[in-house]
Amino acid sequence: MPREHQQLIRLEAFGFAYYVEMVSPLYSYYAKRLYEPGVSRLLNRLLEGGNTFIDVGAHVGYHTFLAAGLVGNRGKVIAFEPDPASADLLRRGRDVNGFKNIVLEEVAAGSADQQAIFHLMESGLSSLLHPRVRVDEVLGSFHQETSCRTIDLDKYCFLNSLHPTCIKIDVEGAEKDVVMGLQKTICDYHPYLIVDLHGLTNDEIVFQLQQCGYEVYKVKDSGDLLPAFEANYCDDLEFTVFGTSGEKKKRLENR
């Protein structure tokens, strides 16, 4: 069961409604400005009716709902969110918006089917990794360890006959394991990849994508893409990268 929500508030963006807690440190990001503007603008360029979008680390559903509107009734959105509280808010938003094309999976995505320890946080920073900052100073007092099921993403895509157009990954430092669990899907379908990096294995993940034949770009707030050779990944601990195959990059440039 999710913990009890505190001071729940409804917000709107891109024509959809979503829910956050006013006590969350992330509230100001959602309420006062466009949340992750580069990713939001990029999704508007990438997705169209009938596409399949996978949101790994969907939190309260902000990008899940944006994608659901873009892919339409013929498309499909799969949202992975193992934090019970966040998943509950995502479910509320899905139902209020009337989205029938969203599948919510309350498990963590990775490279194996197994049980793992999951670190619950009150600020949207829940992760399979231990908190990167001191809970009492930055994120409030709530920190709880719980058992969590993780699934092999390649296996999940195969069993559900998914051919993803785009996959967004934001799992607070566990991105490397998620990308490892997508190797066959990446090779077979070359989906667009949007990966939030958190300073732990940044260079490894960029190299991992390049080894898969992807061109890697840093996503700017404008939604524009900065080529890897121009981006100094050491300058920022946290930023978003975009990966695409050469053929799909040409298609994107024509949009």
- Distance (Å, rounded) from C-alpha 171 to C-alpha 151? 14
Residue 137 pLDDT > 50, yes or no? no
Our measurement of the distance from residue 106's CA atom to the centroid of its chain's CA atoms, rounded to an integer in Å, reads 14
Q: What is the pTM of this model?
A: 0.85
Answer yes or no: are the C-beta atoms of 212 and 26 closer than 8 Å: no
Our measurement of the distance from residue 194's CA atom to the centroid of its chain's CA atoms, rounded to an integer in Å, reads 8
Q: Which residue has the higher pLDDT, 213 or 90?
A: 90
Our measurement of the distance from residue 47's CA atom to the centroid of its chain's CA atoms, rounded to an integer in Å, reads 15
| DSSP codes of every residue in 187-242 | HHH--EEEEEEESSSHHHHHHHHHHTT-EEEEEPTTS-EEEGGG--TTS-SEEEEE
Taking domain 8-253, whether its CATH number is 3.30.70.360 is answered by no
The SS3 assignment for 179 reads: helix
φ and ψ at residue 139, rounded to 5 degrees: -110, 5
φ and ψ at residue 181, rounded to 5 degrees: -80, 5
pLDDT in tens, 14-33: 999 998 877 666 666 666 66
Of the chain, the percentage scoring pLDDT greater than 90 comes to 37
Burial (CB < 10 A; 0-12, 13-18, 19+), residue 40, is middle
Domain ranges of the chain: 8-253
Question: What single-letter amino acid sits at 177?
Answer: D
pLDDT in tens, 45-100: 999 999 999 999 998 899 999 999 999 999 999 999 988 888 999 999 999 999 99
pLDDT at residue 69, as a whole number: 97
